[in-house]
Amino acid sequence: MNRIELTYPRVGFQRPLIYLGVAVACLAANLLFGKHQDEYVSGQHLTGPSLFQLVTGVAAFFCFIFTIWDAGFVLRVRDFLHRITFDEQALYIDKKGIEQSIPLKNILSLRLTGMGGNGIRGTAQVYEVRFQSNGLEDSLLIAIYNRNMGALGVFEKTLEKENPAAEIKNSWTSLDGLFRLFRRPKD
């Protein structure tokens, strides 16, 4: 089995560049073809932008906003988030070229947290992976986007097969944090 990626796949700047191109095209159309129109309403002379200028100006504004938003997402995924992959033996965390492997036998739980939300590239749900490393218990938060839910299903089945003792929880209630606060440590 090849490694399967759990985190958002590596992305480039194609989409922000498309947004930027559309914004520039709207601005160019606005400047080249937009003309102020003069109107007389109730005997008074009014001047202002045409409907074409309003539409292309608003479209350019929103395309610039989407350009900045999507470029920020790309920079965050590319430069700041860890790349998380797995195969049938281990979960791998790549932190800027330094890879840490966690055997699936050492994973204690995989549970959905209450965090997550919508973004420019889709909806994400955050999962917490608790594991033992060097005799200490540690945890890792993974943002799983809807486009990677299939990979999460494969990971859950692989984890269940390799480590039946691991707790897998795909539901979340508002009381989960309270329950974890008062949970007794396992002996």
Backbone angles phi, psi at 36, to 5 degrees: -70, 140
pLDDT at residue number 186: 59
pLDDT tens digits, residue range 130-146? Answer: 999 888 888 888 888 88
* Strand order, beta sheet including 122-133: 136-145, 122-133, 107-119, 167-169
Integer Cα distance of 125 and 113 in angstroms: 8
* Tokens describing residue 135: 């005799």
Provide the whole-model pTM. Answer: 0.70
Statement: residue 61 has pLDDT above 70 = yes
Average pLDDT of every residue of the chain: 84
Q: Give the DSSP H/E element, type plus range, for residue 130.
A: strand 122-133
Per-residue b/e over 97-126, b at no fewer than 16 CB within 10 Å?
eeeeebebebbbbbbbeeebeebebeebbe
DSSP readout, 76-115?
IIIIISPEEEE-SSEEEEEETTEEEEEEGGGEEEEEEEEE
pLDDT at residue number 69: 92
Provide mean pLDDT across the span 4-18: 86
Would you say 86 and 4 are in contact if contact means Cβ atoms under 8 Å apart? Answer: yes
Q: Which of 35-49, 95-109, 160-174 has the lowest mean pLDDT?
A: 35-49
Statement: residue 49 has pLDDT above 80 = no
- The closest alpha carbon to 120, from 2, 46, 14, 16, belongs to 16
Question: Of all residues in the chain, what percent carry a pLDDT higher than 90?
Answer: 30
* Tokens describing residue 128: 């917490």
Taking CA atoms, 121 is separated from 60, 114, 118, 145, in Å, by 20, 19, 8, 8
Neighbours of 3 (CB within 10 A): 12
Three-state DSSP class for residue 22:
helix
Provide mean pLDDT across the span 88-105: 89
pLDDT tens digits, residue range 142-179? Answer: 888 888 888 888 999 999 999 898 888 877 665 655 66
